[in-house]
Structure 1
Amino acid sequence: MEASRGLEIEKKYEVDTGAEVPALEQAAGVARAGKPHTDLLEAVYFDTPRHRLAARRITLRRRTGGKDAGWHLKLPPLVPVPGDGPQQRTELHAPLGRPDVVPDSLLTHLHAYLRGAEPVPVVRLETRRTTYPLYGEDGVHLADLADDQVTAVRLEDGHDDEATRQEWREWELELVHGDPEIFGPVEELLTAAGARPAGHASKLARALGTGKASRKLGAAGADGNGAAEDEGSPALLAGKRAPAAAVVTVYVAAQIDQILAGDAAVRLEELDAVHAMRSATRRIRSVLAAYGRLYRASPVRKLRSELKWLGQLLGQPRDAEVLRAELREQLAGLLPGDDGVAAATARIEERTGGDYDGGYRLLQAALQSPRYFRLLDKLEDFRDNPPVQAEAVAQGRRVAAKAVDKAAKRLRRSHKAAKAARRGTDQELALHRVRKDAKRLRHVAESAALVHGKRAGKVAKAARRQQKILGRFQDAVVARDLLAAIAGEYSDPATAGIYAQLLNQQEERMLAAQAGHRKAWKKSRDLLGRGVI
């Protein structure tokens, strides 16, 4: 059974035991406060012994009591809300089921973080919750204020229940159907009543004593010692003297977040999930190649090799998916009543569908493998403890500019080779090389945009345009080769004409892409000349 999904927007406050809940209807925008009701809630929180989930502000619990009893998984956004503003988290629900077995519908979203470890009970919370509903003039249920009296007990091995017993009181203001602007007026009343912004991201964090735990990003500091910065990437790039390794760290960190956040979507075969993860792996490989001299060679080489392995696994189902979609569209443009169309469609579906299913089975197996989990560990270790060399402390602006210029030079060289290549296979391979080099330039320029702004952004946009045009060329080449192979296997007259039409379309697509590339290159020639940024 698939887990239900919702968005939680709330803000927590610490409050003393004797504080009184204020008259909430006095807040601007609140017409009335409904009758409060009280629930007794008991929740068991699950995590690894090393608290891998809590360290990422992820909570997994099984709760009884109240109107939403069941298993709850809360996932933070990719970009946390800075400061003490209301926090947003995706919340997934599953039925109660067995008390000791995490539902697969939730576990799917955790494999990238658990990495083979089994979640076990770590904390039991008993909460006496009194809820005050808040309504607007039109009767809309704006928000709920929860007044929680909490008792927490650690359950891990080596902890004595009574010795770890904690008790506290907190208020939670959570949106229901209201607008986030309601937080300000209500907070004024709560603050006047003695409330303070909570020093923890969740009840679990307080019970474990982790406070507002946040990931650390490793970046070479001005002295090159790799001092860590908090999870606010702009801080790493503040000022024109930001070190070169910080540019890579911030860019790579964003791609790692994409891989982790998209892991579950790939497992669930959601639309474009494979494409997104594949793009993130390619971006990391591109910048590691472009900024390689900042780091020790061996760890970067090994990391790029493992990323290539993952990218190839992602590429098999993705390429089959793209090819099938394109050929379906082209077949739809032919005469639907023709018997040859039906036969050709069935054979193309069989071939591309088989390639997709086979590729996805290999990918799913890989995502459960120790090798994949080790790759995730290595990526995060690179982010947090980059193997920097002395050059890493050089100014990021200068190093990034050189990296972009080098990538642009590489693209100019491959473009020149493609112009000189003979028609046919040589030219097709040469244009594929141009596409790959345009992709690398795009990714390197994206990283440089962190310190060079609009100029680097224009370079990235121009490179992306060429990449996409030549992507259409390469797709047509792959489709042509597949169609030629199928046509050779099946020689019945009913489909021969259909394959001939489709093959002709691929040639037309290739010619159109070549013309588009020439036009795009002419338009961006000056931008991609010497001294790009």
Structure 2
Amino acid sequence: MSVESHVLEIESKFDVAVDTPLPDLAGLPHVSAVGVSREINLEASYYDSPGLDLVALGITLRRRRGGDDAGWHLKLPGDSGRHELRVPLGDDERVPRCFEDLLSGTTRRAALERVGTIRTRRTVIPLVDAAGRVVAEVCDDRVVGERWHDGRGTRLVWREWEIELVRQDRELAHAAAARLRSAGATPATYASKLAHVLDVLPDRSALGQGRSRPSVRDVLAPYLGAQVRRLRQLDPQVRADLPDAVHQMRVTCRRIRAALACYRRDFDRRAAREIRKELGWLVDVLGRERDLEVLRDHLGALVARHEAPDAAQEGWIDESLSEDLDAARGAARVALDSERYDALVLALAAAGWPPWSSRAERHARGELRRGLRAEWERLQAAATAAEHAPAGRRDEALHEVRKVAKRLRYAAEAAEPCLGDRARDLADAMSALQDSLGLHHDEAVARAAVARLGQEWPRAAGVSRIIGELEDQQAVESAIYREGWWQVRHSTSARWLV
């Protein structure tokens, strides 16, 4: 059985007393009318590992009966909402094999068992725009939940309101939330109904929160904990081939590596170096697939502009790269199923991680600034080397500048809770450099690929014109980088590090 659909769920939940009347929802932004309400009864069984790995990461696996979306639902947290994957009910209560496979890395292949049952009497109020389209639904839920443990259930009863948007609309979301809060609702204490049943509260702790002189550990521990959590949340999304999941997992790995590298004196060097090496391996094995996809899309657009329509040559870029893409996807999936990956996740999730040194107890402001200053000096050295690099090595030298700028950006982001606007401005400046150099690198890779593929496809038209356009684009990006680098060196973004 395979996943049949994927939905991005954009919702907000609120706690409310059982006798609170629902407010009038008319007059909200982009809402022309409040539709006729309807009542439905829902029943869902929830599944997790014995250690409750899924709910701890904000992941929900349920089997729902009733309503318009009966079936198996797997909900995965994303940046702008929750991804919901769906599979039909089937004849029994066994978790679908496709969901077991997607969650194997998250649960470390532990058996999935029923941990709770929730019955909901839901009143759905549709909000409609001027064209008669439903733009959001407000749900008034009266809930009875049971937590299952050793074959016995513990019963809870509560009420909650929920706003579910059809598409991203910040103005409507904020106004609707304000309307519900004015009627007495409060933001939900629990991330989901299942978390309520299992009494799993979101982790909002931060070491040293409120201290006037926080230590390095106070600042970096919550940051690194959030990145490890994000890495584990992305695992099933990568396995499910959800949009941008591979890219986000690589970025998360790089953020952890940047903190461990930039502030290396605050960690046990040997243990941190081993984690950095393993995260680098994961970035590389995932990167091959993404790099090829970016290259295919980039070249496909260029070829379409430069070649005359020819059915015999149509799709030669796809055909040329398809074998490499299939191999890269296969290698990435093998890596996620490997003992090496399991060991990495276990090390990151261990109670004693990250491995601090005694310096981590020092005052954060001076120690973090010292680490950022060392990275800034590395960036200056890399930029100078690129300026004096021979023509044949210049692309490689600029790519090195990009890598150092990226690491400095992520390290600055980690320091923001302590260093504030200074760190934020530095991160923004590095992001701009990274963008221009990233485009420059993409053009260099594309130019080499076109030259190679043009030899393999001698009938392909426009190869020389495509290479010429890529060289012109590289020259533009190089000029943008030079201007951006001059501005960074002479601005307040990094002057405080000198």
The TM-score normalised by the length of structure 2 is: 0.81
**Residues 1:183 and 2:197 are matched in the alignment:** no
Q: 2:384 aligns to what?
A: 416
Q: Which runs of 5+ in 1 are unaligned?
A: 16-20, 80-87, 189-195, 216-230
**Distance in 1 separating the partners of 2:250 and 2:483:** 28
**Distance in 1 separating the partners of 2:99 and 2:138:** 26
Could you tell me which of 103, 107, 111 is aligned with 1:114?
107
Q: 2:12 aligns to what?
A: 9
**Residues 1:523 and 2:472 are matched in the alignment:** no
Tell me by how many angstroms 1:279 deviates.
1.8
Change (3 A) 1:165 1:448: closer
Give CA-to-partner distance per residue, 1:235-271, whole Å, 9 cap, x none.
Answer: 6554551211233333333433443343344333344
Q: 1:514 aligns to what?
A: 478
Change (3 A) 1:63 1:453: same
Q: 1:154 aligns to what?
A: 148
The structure that has the greater radius of gyration is: 1
Q: 1:430 aligns to what?
A: 397
Alignment of 1:98-137 (within 5 A): 98-103=91-96, 106-107=99-100, 110-124=103-117, 127=119, 130-131=121-122
**Distance in 1 separating the partners of 2:10 and 2:243:** 20
Identity level (%): 31
CA contact (8 A) 2:230 2:252 kept: yes
Alignment of 1:279-428 (within 5 A): 279-337=251-309, 343=313, 346-381=315-350, 385-424=353-392, 426-428=393-395
Q: 2:162 aligns to what?
A: 174
Tell me by how many angstroms 1:131 deviates.
4.7
Tell me by how many angstroms 1:232 deviates.
4.3
Tell me by how many angstroms 1:406 deviates.
0.7
Change (3 A) 1:14 1:372: farther
**Distance in 1 separating the partners of 2:318 and 2:67:** 50
Q: Which runs of 5+ in 2 are unaligned?
A: 27-32, 166-171
Change (3 A) 1:335 1:409: same
Tell me by how many angstroms 1:329 deviates.
2.3
**Distance in 1 separating the partners of 2:408 and 2:285:** 23
Change (3 A) 1:361 1:35: closer
Amino acid of the structure 1 residue aligned with 2:326: D
**Residues 1:505 and 2:473 are matched in the alignment:** no
Q: 2:63 aligns to what?
A: 62
Secondary structure of 1:53's counterpart equals helix
**Distance in 2 separating the partners of 1:403 and 1:433:** 19
**Distance in 2 separating the partners of 1:9 and 1:400:** 36
Tell me by how many angstroms 1:510 deviates.
3.3
Could you tell me which of 442, 458, 481 is aligned with 1:475?
442
Q: 1:441 aligns to what?
A: 408
Could you tell me which of 400, 422, 426 is aligned with 1:459?
426
CA contact (8 A) 1:291 1:403 kept: yes
**Residues 1:269 and 2:237 are matched in the alignment:** no
Greater shift in the superposed pair: 137-146 or 441-450: 137-146
CA contact (8 A) 1:57 1:213 kept: no
CA contact (8 A) 2:60 2:75 kept: yes
CA contact (8 A) 1:236 1:250 kept: no
**Distance in 2 separating the partners of 1:353 and 1:135:** 45
CA contact (8 A) 2:489 2:495 kept: no
Could you tell me which of 134, 140, 147 is aligned with 1:145?
140
Q: 1:71 aligns to what?
A: 72
Tell me by how many angstroms 1:311 deviates.
0.5
Tell me by how many angstroms 1:451 deviates.
2.0
Tell me by how many angstroms 1:464 deviates.
2.4
Change (3 A) 1:187 1:44: same
Report the number of matched residues.
Answer: 475
Change (3 A) 1:111 1:422: same
CA contact (8 A) 2:43 2:64 kept: yes
**Distance in 2 separating the partners of 1:122 and 1:318:** 37
Change (3 A) 1:168 1:239: closer
Give CA-to-partner distance per residue, 1:443-480, whole Å, 9 cap, x none.
Answer: 22222233222222222222222222222332233223
Amino acid of the structure 1 residue aligned with 2:140: L
Q: CA RMSD in A?
A: 3.8
CA contact (8 A) 1:2 1:105 kept: no
Greater shift in the superposed pair: 44-53 or 300-309: 44-53
Secondary structure of 1:180's counterpart equals helix
Change (3 A) 1:398 1:237: farther
Secondary structure of 2:4's counterpart equals coil
Tell me by how many angstroms 1:423 deviates.
2.1
CA contact (8 A) 1:240 1:397 kept: no
Tell me by how many angstroms 1:120 deviates.
1.7
Tell me by how many angstroms 1:413 deviates.
1.0
CA contact (8 A) 1:483 1:499 kept: yes
CA contact (8 A) 1:14 1:169 kept: no
